[in-house]
Amino acid sequence: MIEYRSVGKTFSGGNAAVADFDLVIPSHTTTVFVGSSGCGKTTLLRMVNRMVEPTSGQVLIDDVDVASRNPVELRRSIGYVMQASGLLPHRSVLDNVGTVLRLQGVSRAETRRRSLELMETVGLDTALADRYPHQLSGGQQQRVGVARALVTDPNILLMDEPFGAVDPIVRDELQAELLRLQRELGKTIVFVTHDIDEAFLLGDQVVILAKGGQRAQVGTPADILAAPANDFVRSFVGLDKGGRELHVEERDGVQVVVDAQGRATGVLKG
Amino acid sequence: MRWIGNNTDLILGYLASHVWLSIVPTVLGFLLALPIGWWANRVPAVRGVVLSVGNVLYTIPSLAFILILPGVIGTGFLDPLNIVIALTVYAVAVMARFASDGFASVSPAVLDSARASGFGAAGLALRVELPLAGPVLLAGLRVVSVSTVSLVSVGALAGVDNLGRLFTEGVFTGNTAEILTGIVLVVALALVLDLLLVIAGRALLPWSAGARRVRGGVA
Ligand SMILES: Nc1ncnc2c1ncn2[C@@H]1O[C@H](COP(=O)(O)OP(=O)(O)OP(=O)(O)O)[C@@H](O)[C@H]1O
Ligand SMILES: [Mg+2]
C-alpha cells in the first residue's frame, strides 16, 4: 500500500506543484493519475521513489515513510518506466534489462538468465538481446523499459506516460500487454497519463487531477462515469458533449447498443 | 640515406624519448582533465573559470613556459620534467574543455532514468556519464595527442633529447637528411598515436560507432 499524507511540493522559485494531497493506493492494483499537462502527475509519481522530495507531508510504503529509506536502495526496489524509455544508449538490450540486478550484485550468469526470461515475458524476441537501444523501434524500446523495470520482481511499478511516444496501434498492443502482465503478476502499479481512455482501460482506481495536483475525483472508471463529481470531471471524461453516451436500438427483437456517432458497438444481454 | 644508416642508434634514442615525452603528458592531462571537466559541467561558474584559464594558458609561448619552469618549481635547467609538466598543463587546458563538453553532451533523460533505476553518485559518474561522454573525450584526446607530439619538439630548444634535436642539429650543420628524418618521424609518430586512439575508440565505444553508422545510413 502506498499512502500520500497531506503531501505538498513547492519547487524552488515558489511554484506550488502539489498542495495538501491525500491518497491511498491499494496493493496489487493499478492506480492511474490522469490530468492535463503540468497538473503535477509526474511530481506525485516521483515522490514514491524519492526522485522528488515533498516539501510537506509524507509518502508511505507499507506504513514506512520513504524519507526514512536510503534513496538508492529504495529506487532499486521499485520499477520505473518513463516516456522516452530512458535506456542506457551504451549498453546492449540485455544489459539494459539486467541493469538493476547488476547494481544489486547479482552474478553475471544469473543476470543474463533472468534478463532473457524477462525479455520473453514482455514479448521481446531474444534475438534482439545484443542490439543497442537505438537499433530498436520505439515500441520495442518501451518493452525493454518495462522488462528492465520488472527484472527484480519489484512490488511497485511506477510508469510515467510509458506509451505516450508510440503510434496508436503499438500503443493498443502495449496496453493489452500490460493488462495481461498485470493479471499474471499483480503488481502495485502507479500509472501516469493524460489520456482518459488509457486511464479507464488500465486503472482499477482512477485519480483525476486538476491544476496544482488537486484531486478532482477518485474512483473506479464506472464510479466516475456514473457520478462525475463536478463539471470539470464531466468535461474531462467527455460526458459533457455526449461523447460517451450509448443508446439501444431494437433490431428484430435484439437490443443493439449504438454510440454517439451512430455506430453499432454491440448487443445488450440479460 | 647513408646518414640515417650511420645514426640509427641516435635516431631510435630520440624517437623513444619523443614517444615517452608525448604519451606521459597526454595521459596525465587526460586523467587530470576528467574530474575538472566533470565539475565544470556541474557548476557553471567553474566552467567559466576553466575555459578562461585554459585560454590564457594557451597564449603563453611554449618555449618561454619550458624555460621559466625551472625557476618556478626548482627543477634542473635541462630536466625533461620541465617538458612533461609544461605539456601536461597544455593538455589539461585543452582537454578540460572537451571533457566539460563531453559530460554536457550526455542526455539528461538518460541520467534521470539511470538515477531512478538506482545508480548511486559514483556509479552514475563512472558507469553512465563517463562512457557516454566517451565520443567527445576521444575527439579531445586526438587533438591533444597530435598537438603534444608536435610541442615536444620545442623541448629540443631547451636541450632535451627528442626528435626535435634532428631539426636543430640538422639546421646547425646544414644536414638536410637529418632535418627530413626528424620531420617524417614526428609526423609518423603523430599519425600512429592517432590511429591507436581511433582503434581504442572502436573497441571501447562500439555503441557510438554503430550510432554513427545508423545516422549516416538514414541521412
Ligand atoms: N524541477 C522543477 N522545478 C520547478 N518546477 C517544476 C519542476 N518540475 C516540475 N515543475 C512544475 O511543477 C508543475 C507540475 O509538473 P509535473 O511535471 O508534475 O506535471 P505533469 O502533470 O507531469 O505534466 P506533463 O503531463 O506535462 O508531464 C508544473 O507547473 C511544472 O512546471
Ligand atoms: Mg509528466
Question: Does residue A265 sit in helix, strand or coil?
Answer: strand
Q: Which residues pair with A261 in a beta bridge?
A: none
B196 near A CB under 8 A: no
* Mean pLDDT along residues B147-159: 91
In single-letter form, the type of residue at position A216 comes to A
Question: Within this chain, do residues A264 and A234 fall inside the same structural domain, yes or no?
Answer: no
Count of other CB atoms within 10 angstroms of residue A226: 9
Question: Within this chain, do residues A63 and A21 fall inside the same structural domain, yes or no?
Answer: yes
B111 near A CB under 8 A: no
Task: Please report, for residues A91, A134, A155, B36, B203, the alpha-carbon distance to residue B209 in angstroms, rounded to integers and kept in the order given.
Answer: 13, 12, 38, 27, 9
Reply yes or no on whether the pLDDT at B1 is more than 80: no
List CB contacts (< 8 A) between B109 and chain A.
Answer: 82, 84, 86
Task: Give the DSSP per-residue string, A6-61.
Answer: EEEEEETTTEEEEEEEEEEE-TTSEEEEE-STTSSHHHHHHHHTTSS--SEEEEEE
Assign 3-class secondary structure to B60-111. CCHHHHHHHHHHHHCCCCCCHHHHHHHHHHHHHHHHHHHHHHHHHCCCHHHH
Question: Within this chain, do residues A266 and A239 fall inside the same structural domain, yes or no?
Answer: no
Instruction: Give pTM, 2 decimals.
Output: 0.89
Least confident of A105-109, A173-177, B78-82: B78-82
Residue whose CA lies nearest to ligand 1 atom number 3: A11
Question: Within this chain, do residues A202 and A158 fall inside the same structural domain, yes or no?
Answer: yes
Residues ≥6 apart with Cβ < 8 Å to B16: none
Q: Check if the beta carbon of residue B11 is closer than 8 Å to that of residue B179.
A: no
ipTM, two decimals: 0.89
* CATH code for the domain of A11: 3.40.50.300
Q: How confident is the model at residue B58 (pLDDT cuts 50, 70, 90)?
A: confident
Assign 3-class secondary structure to A211-248. HHHEEEEEECHHHHHHCCCCHHHHHHCCCCCCCCCCEE
Reply yes or no on whether the pLDDT at A221 is more than 90: yes
pLDDT digits (tens, 9 = 90+) for B132-148: 999 999 999 999 999 99
User: Ligand 1 in contact with A9 (CB < 6 A)?
Assistant: no
| CATH number for region B2-218 | 1.10.3720.10
* Mean pLDDT along residues A26-40: 97
* Mean pLDDT along residues A179-183: 96
pLDDT digits (tens, 9 = 90+) for A60-79: 999 999 999 999 999 999 99
Q: How confident is the model at residue B159 (pLDDT cuts 50, 70, 90)?
A: confident
Task: Please report, for residues B24, B199, B212, B213, the alpha-carbon distance to residue B217 in angstroms, rounded to integers and kept in the order given.
Answer: 38, 22, 8, 6
Q: Which structural domain range is residue A261 located in? A: 245-270
Reply yes or no on whether the pLDDT at A196 is more than 90: yes
Q: Check if the beta carbon of residue A79 is closer than 8 Å to that of residue A157.
A: yes
pLDDT at A111: 98
Q: Which residues pair with A30 in a beta bridge?
A: A189
Residue appearing with cell numbers 557510438: B208
Highest average pLDDT, of A161-170, A207-216, A250-259, comes from A207-216
pLDDT at B2: 83
pLDDT digits (tens, 9 = 90+) for B81-125: 989 999 999 999 999 999 999 999 999 999 999 999 999 999 999
- pLDDT, chain B, mean: 91
In single-letter form, the type of residue at position A222 comes to A
Share of chain B above pLDDT 70, in %: 95
Reply yes or no on whether the pLDDT at B215 is more than 50: no
Q: What is the distance between the terminal CA atoms of chain B, rounded to a whole angstrom? A: 50
Residues ≥6 apart with Cβ < 8 Å to A5: A22, A57, A58, A59, A60
Reply yes or no on whether the pLDDT at B218 is more than 50: no
pLDDT at A244: 85
pLDDT digits (tens, 9 = 90+) for A143-167: 999 999 999 999 999 999 999 888 9
Question: Within this chain, do residues A147 and A50 fall inside the same structural domain, yes or no?
Answer: yes
Contact B119 A84 (CB under 8 A): no
Question: Within this chain, do residues A30 and A91 fall inside the same structural domain, yes or no?
Answer: yes
Question: Within this chain, do residues A133 and A263 fall inside the same structural domain, yes or no?
Answer: no
Residue whose CA lies nearest to ligand 1 atom number 5: A11
Question: Within this chain, do residues A252 and A190 fall inside the same structural domain, yes or no?
Answer: no
B39 near A CB under 8 A: no
Counting ligands in written order, the one closest to the CA of A34 is 1
Q: B106, B112, B113, B119: which to substitute to probe chain A, counting the most A Cβ within 10 Å?
A: B113
Q: What is the distance between the terminal CA atoms of chain A, rounded to a whole angstrom? A: 37
Q: How confident is the model at residue B68 (pLDDT cuts 50, 70, 90)?
A: confident
User: Ligand 1 in contact with A40 (CB < 6 A)?
Assistant: yes
User: Ligand 1 in contact with A194 (CB < 6 A)?
Assistant: yes
Least confident of A137-146, B69-78, B171-180, B199-208: B69-78
Residues ≥6 apart with Cβ < 8 Å to B108: none
B131 near A CB under 8 A: yes
Question: Within this chain, do residues A43 and A154 fall inside the same structural domain, yes or no?
Answer: yes
Radius of gyration of chain A (CA): 20
Question: Within this chain, do residues A160 and A264 fall inside the same structural domain, yes or no?
Answer: no
Q: Which residues pair with A264 in a beta bridge?
A: A258
pLDDT at B212: 52
**Cell reading at A243:** 461523447
Q: How confident is the model at residue B60 (pLDDT cuts 50, 70, 90)?
A: confident
User: What single DSSP character describes residue B46?
Assistant: H
Residue bearing the bigger pLDDT, B72 or A41? A41
pLDDT digits (tens, 9 = 90+) for A88-131: 999 999 999 999 999 999 999 999 999 999 999 999 999 999 99
Residues ≥6 apart with Cβ < 8 Å to A194: A34, A35, A36, A37, A41, A161, A164
Reply yes or no on whether the pLDDT at A192 is more than 80: yes
List CB contacts (< 8 A) between B211 and chain A.
Answer: 89, 132, 134
pLDDT at A14: 86
pLDDT at B66: 86
**Which chain B residue's Cα is nearest to A81?**
B113
Residue appearing with cell numbers 565520443: B135
Residues ≥6 apart with Cβ < 8 Å to B162: B14, B17, B18, B21, B152, B153, B155, B156
> CA B16, CA B132: separation in Å to the nearest integer?
34
Residue B105, phi then psi, degrees to nearest 5: -80, -10
pLDDT at A128: 97
Q: Which atom of ligand 1 is nearest to the CA of A15?
A: 5
Q: How confident is the model at residue B158 (pLDDT cuts 50, 70, 90)?
A: confident
Number of domains forming the structure of chain A: 2
Q: How confident is the model at residue A256 (pLDDT cuts 50, 70, 90)?
A: very high
What angle (nearest 5°) sits at the alpha carbon of residue B193, between those of residues B188 and B194?
A: 95
- pLDDT, chain A, mean: 95
Q: Check if the beta carbon of residue A88 is closer than 8 Å to that of residue A133.
A: yes
What angle (nearest 5°) sits at the alpha carbon of residue A117, between those of residues A113 and A120?
A: 145
Give A52's Cβ-side CA count (13 Å radius): 22
pLDDT at B41: 96
> CA B201, CA B138: separation in Å to the nearest integer?
7
> CA A200, CA A208: separation in Å to the nearest integer?
11
